[in-house]
């Protein structure tokens, strides 16, 4: 391990010397090529360790009452093999609040009713349409009711969350993010349009 680290340090020092000694345009281009190679290697190593999730990550196949398990190449299996079980343990409507990083939002989601949690989980985590959610609940003609419940749930969360975020903005809270600022701008712009 020490030998590898020593080799990396020597290569880094040689590249620094090459960069310092560059005087012509060709010298600078050669230096840039070396830096690009280092960046490509670093990015390749990072990609190898990342958990990739696509939009269809959580879909499970249903046919004639049979459920097909997720394939072995699925990110959830790779996480489980590496010992990260959080996505599998909390992959339910009643436990999804434990995966939310922001405490205020987690509390709001935890305090929702069971129906609201189920609709929010299927819509936000499983990326299901209102038609699919109605099918899961064996209410194929209840698509409009699902949309209405989802809209009411999101409005309820937004109405309770907006004052909390405004308070964080006033107190210059360290967890204030650009997403929260954008949400506040959208929320108050949207509410003024509705009046």
The conformation of residue 57, written as its DSSP 8-state character, comes to: T
Q: Is the dihedral of CA 35, 37, 41, 46 positive or negative?
A: positive
Strand partners, 67: 62
Q: Please report which residue ranges of the chain form alpha helices under DSSP H.
A: 2-21, 25-49, 75-82, 86-89, 103-110, 114-120, 130-136, 143-170, 178-194
Predicted confidence pLDDT, tens digits, the chain (195 residues): 688 888 888 888 888 888 888 899 998 899 889 888 888 888 887 776 665 554 444 444 444 545 556 666 666 677 777 777 776 777 778 888 887 888 888 899 999 998 899 888 888 877 788 888 888 776 656 778 888 889 999 999 989 988 988 888 888 877 778 888 888 888 887 665 555
Structural contact between residues 109 and 103, judged by C-beta atoms closer than 8 angstroms:
no
Q: Please report, in angstroms and rounded to a whole number, the separation of the first and last CA atoms in the chain.
A: 66
Full-model pTM: 0.54
- Joined together, the tokens standing for residue 152 give 């009411």
Dmax (CA) for the chain in angstroms is 74
Q: Is 52 exposed, middle or buried (0-12, 13-18, 19+ CB in 10 A)?
A: exposed
| Spans of all domains in the chain | 2-49, 90-194
* Coil/strand/helix, residue 140: coil
């Amino acid at each position: 391990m020490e030998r590898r680290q020593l080799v990396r340090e020597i290569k880094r020092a040689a590249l620094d010397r090459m960069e310092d000694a560059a005087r012509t345009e060709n010298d600078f281009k050669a230096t840039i090529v070396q830096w690009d190679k280092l960046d490509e290697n670093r990015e390749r190593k990072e990609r190898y360790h990342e958990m990739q999730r696509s939009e269809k990550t959580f879909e499970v196949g249903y046919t004639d009452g049979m459920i097909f398990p997720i394939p072995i190449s699925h990110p959830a299996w790779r996480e489980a093999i590496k010992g990260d079980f959080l996505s599998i343990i909390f992959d339910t409507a009643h436990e999804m609040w434990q995966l939310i990083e922001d405490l205020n939002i987690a509390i709001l989601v935890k305090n929702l009713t069971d129906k609201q949690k189920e609709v929010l989980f299927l819509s936000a985590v499983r990326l299901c349409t209102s038609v699919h959610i109605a099918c899961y609940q064996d209410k194929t003609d209840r698509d409009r009711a699902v949309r209405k419940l989802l809209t009411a749930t999101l409005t309820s969360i937004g109405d309770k969350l907006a004052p909390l975020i405004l308070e964080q903005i006033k107190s210059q809270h360290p967890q204030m993010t650009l997403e929260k600022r954008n949400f506040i701008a959208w929320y108050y712009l949207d509410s003024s349009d509705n009046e």
